[in-house]
Amino acid sequence: MRVSLFVTCLIDQLRPEVGEATVAVLERAGCEVHFDPRQTCCGQPACNSGYREDARAVARQALEALEGDDPVVVPSGSCAAQLVHLADLFEEGSAEHARAKALAPRVHELSSFLVDELGVDSLASGYRGRVTWHDACHGLRDLGTRDQPRRLLRAVEGVDLVEMASCETCCGFGGTFSVKMPELSVAMADRKLDELEQAGLDAVVSADLSCLMQLGGRLQERGSSVRTLHLAEVLAG
């Protein structure tokens, strides 16, 4: 199956190794991965900040880059959710609204694509360590992605998956929320990390780089040995 990869701007600019791991995972699952270099951002930062016209400009670029019939795989729940809802930025009846509506059913978060669309049970991956899964807000609450990443992680040889009581609790990033209300954002992250650090974990795994940046930054500040890993990095092992 040929798929179109929307790599997200955070992965592209800050953790390109996650993008490489995503390609490796998709290819291992039997996909031919296409990447259009015209893609930039999904428009979520501008949209969430109320800059609708700026968001529309970025959305138009995304629509151009993702034109076609291929499934669009996104290694981020928040960016996938934004692409699914792109039509909300455009006037109903417009050509752009129609293109965005046509794009929406083609968009898939990485773990849900592997499990729900390809029927993948295992990727013959290996990672030794005690890990927990963090449910990023958009992936869980908007896309309904919960069991798929856990199913994939449990199939990784050497992984000891530990469920935390706070797994569905927001990490406090929330895009511009962490900039506008940094004290509250940090307090939300630390409340999660207090529990995680007591569990003797080797790593926190998630599928949204913004959450991993938030948690990773706080872990580093606290001098913790717990790592943050994207799901693709574990599955590519």
pLDDT digits (tens, 9 = 90+) for 109-145: 999 999 999 999 899 999 999 999 999 999 999 999 9
With beta carbons less than 8 A apart as the criterion, state whether 132 and 205 touch.
yes
Single-letter amino acid, residue 15 = R
pTM over 0.85: yes
pLDDT tens string 78-121: 999 999 999 999 999 999 999 999 999 999 999 999 999 999 98
Local structure of 116: helix, strand or coil: helix
With beta carbons less than 8 A apart as the criterion, state whether 151 and 116 touch.
no
Q: What is the DSSP letter of 8?
A: -
3-state secondary structure string across 43-103: CHHHHHCCCHHHHHHHHHHHHHHCCCCCCEEECCHHHHHHHHCHHHHCCCCCHHHHHHHHH
Q: How far apart, in Å, are the Cα atoms of 68 and each of 62, 74, 88, 94, 107?
A: 12, 16, 20, 19, 12
**Token couple for 232:** 């693709």
